[in-house]
């Protein structure tokens, strides 16, 4: 059967890439050149999905609002990268799946269509120097074909994690009955005691870096359990499998035209008078009248309430007057960003499909250890996307793009054959080196953080409120979590105004 096609008009194609950002930036620049001071009901710091959603709901309630964004674009950790062939690919947040209701509702409202992540054909397991294609439609699903003992051990460990996660309240994981015990140990310590078969441990190591862009030794067990619990919604408990799966999981669906279509169209709906770009916030000060002054490059904003919708480590770089409570500041000091990059190689065709492969790899070696088929919905060209994560990303943070490209293509050849050696284009996004992200996809909690400081995560400080995917109870770390956090922050602010 012929593949379903989703033709893009020229205007849609432009909106999907850098041109849309340029258009919005140009319009915003013209508007903001005429003013250096603003007075609004609410100032929102950060123009990612969380900040834009907050502003949408506040504006809908009839209040005045201004989003102040440091970058020259909206989207935060969601960005489209233009390809040499005129297409676009995602450099950041990309996939959505079941129970991610709020990002889907937002996209539907904005008219951004979705399509299924390419998942037809065999996955590739590369382990111990051996390449093994394997079907994903059998009894094991997408679980790589490791030894029987490892499979049994992995199944038991996954079931135990899901059972433990059910005991973690998503709104307050630090109140779980065993919060102290679970927060005293790393995920690695727990895995060593439970994933006792080496092949089972391999599966969880790869899953950990793929989900968090951090090594098991860096993560609190309590945080991992909360993350699993958050992979659901109010009526559906989260599961470990939902985090890792493509079909029926967090990687099930992509956006036509690229994921940045969503924040671009949301910003356009808000209008240039409500979105200020290229204005890093330097200081937030509360005056004697209880109002706040937000000082950013090129503009000063007076507001009754402020929503800070940037990752906690970045929020900590803002000067607050008066000082934030110690618990909030200590929390921010202890939440590092994961280390992640995305490398996309472009080819004339998705040649791996003809070889019966779906473009997905699980590997124990190389700089890229998991991949996806990032081709457009009509398959008019091929795009292989590889995640570079955790220790592998840190090792290449200081490398040149040419060095990263050479390492990535070497891995692609190992996984997909010699045709992968000669792409027609190559793009790289290294979030560790992004000045207004410094990593991704999420700020994670090492041991001892949630149980001691978690209560400060969403607690307002006077008239300052907190948004961002790190503050979400569901789909923490994902685009859906960002949207949910913005909706929650807007409710808080509107109740207080």
Q: Mind listing the pLDDT tens digit for each residue in 250-278? A: 999 999 999 999 999 999 999 999 999 99
Helix (H) or strand (E) holding 430: strand 425-430
Parallel/antiparallel/unpaired status of strands 299-308 and 292-296: antiparallel
- Contact between 22 and 456 under an 8 Å Cβ cutoff? The reply is no
Position 69 scores a pLDDT of: 98
Position 247 scores a pLDDT of: 93
Q: Mind listing the pLDDT tens digit for each residue in 125-159? A: 999 999 999 998 866 678 899 999 999 999 999 99
pLDDT < 70 regions, the chain? 1-34, 138-140
**Three-point CA angle 241, 375, 269, nearest 5°:** 85
CA-to-CA dists, residue 98 to 49, 236, 240, 353, 483, angstroms: 19, 10, 13, 26, 15
Give the count of beta carbons closer than 10 Å to the beta carbon of residue 149.
13
Give the count of beta carbons closer than 10 Å to the beta carbon of residue 360.
22
Q: Provide φ and ψ at 126, rounded to 5°.
A: -120, 110
**Predicted structure pTM score:** 0.93
Position 142 scores a pLDDT of: 83
What CA–CA distance (Å, rounded) separates 231 from 228? Answer: 5
Residue 10, exposed/middle/buried by CB under 10 A (0-12, 13-18, 19+)?
Answer: exposed
Position 128 scores a pLDDT of: 96
What CA–CA distance (Å, rounded) separates 353 from 379? Answer: 10
Position 27 scores a pLDDT of: 54
Position 139 scores a pLDDT of: 66
C-alpha closest to that of 285 among 320, 261, 313, 312:
320
Position 29 scores a pLDDT of: 53
Position 28 scores a pLDDT of: 52
């Amino acid at each position: 059967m012929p593949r379903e096609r989703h033709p893009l008009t020229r205007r849609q194609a432009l909106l999907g890439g850098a041109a849309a950002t340029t258009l919005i930036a140009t319009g915003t620049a013209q508007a903001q050149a005429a003013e250096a001071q603003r007075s609004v009901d609410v100032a929102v710091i950060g123009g990612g999905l969380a900040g834009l959603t907050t502003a949408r709901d506040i504006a809908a309630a009839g209040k005045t609002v201004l989003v102040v964004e440091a970058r020259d674009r909206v989207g935060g950790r969601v960005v489209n990268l233009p390809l040499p062939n005129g297409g676009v690919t995602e450099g950041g947040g990309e996939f959505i799946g079941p129970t991610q209701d709020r990002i889907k509702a937002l996209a539907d409202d904005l008219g951004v269509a979705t399509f299924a992540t390419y998942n037809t054909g065999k996955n590739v397991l590369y382990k111990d120097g051996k390449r093994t294609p394997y079907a994903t439609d059998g009894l094991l699903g997408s679980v790589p074909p490791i030894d029987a003992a490892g499979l049994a051990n992995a199944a038991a460990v996954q079931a135990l994690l899901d059972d433990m996660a059910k005991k973690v309240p998503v709104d307050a994981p630090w109140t779980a009955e065993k919060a102290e015990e679970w927060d005293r140990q790393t995920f690695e310590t727990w895995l060593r005691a439970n994933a006792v078969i080496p092949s089972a441990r391999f599966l969880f190591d790869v899953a950990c870096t793929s989900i968090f862009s951090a090594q098991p030794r860096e993560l609190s067990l309590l945080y991992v359990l909360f993350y699993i619990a958050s992979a659901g919604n109010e009526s559906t408990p989260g599961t470990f499998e939902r985090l890792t799966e493509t079909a029926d999981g967090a990687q099930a669906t992509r956006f036509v035209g690229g994921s940045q279509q969503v924040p671009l169209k949301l910003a356009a709906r808000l209008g240039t008078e409500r979105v200020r770009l290229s204005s890093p916030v330097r200081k937030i000060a509360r005056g004697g009248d209880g109002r706040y002054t937000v000082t950013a490059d090129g503009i000063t904003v007076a507001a009754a309430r402020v929503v800070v919708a940037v990752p906690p480590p970045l929020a900590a770089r803002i000067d607050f007057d008066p000082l934030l409570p110690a618990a909030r500041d200590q929390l921010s000091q202890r939440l590092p960003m994961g280390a992640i990059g995305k490398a996309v190689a472009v080819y004339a065709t998705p040649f791996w499909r003809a070889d019966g492969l779906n473009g997905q790899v699980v590997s124990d070696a190389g700089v890229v250890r998991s991949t996806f088929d990032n081709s457009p919905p009509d398959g008019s060209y091929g795009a292989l996307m590889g995640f570079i994560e955790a220790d592998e990303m840190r090792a290449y943070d200081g490398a040149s793009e040419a060095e990263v490209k050479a390492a990535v293509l070497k891995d692609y050849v190992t996984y997909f054959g010699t045709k992968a050696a000669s792409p027609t284009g190559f793009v790289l996004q290294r979030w560790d080196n992004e000045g207004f992200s410094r990593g991704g996809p999420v700020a994670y909690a090492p041991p001892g953080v949630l149980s001691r400081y978690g209560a400060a995560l969403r607690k307002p400080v006077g008239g300052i409120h907190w948004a961002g995917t790190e503050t979400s109870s569901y789909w923490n770390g994902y685009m859906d979590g960002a949207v949910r956090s913005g909706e929650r922050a807007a409710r808080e602010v509107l109740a207080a105004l």
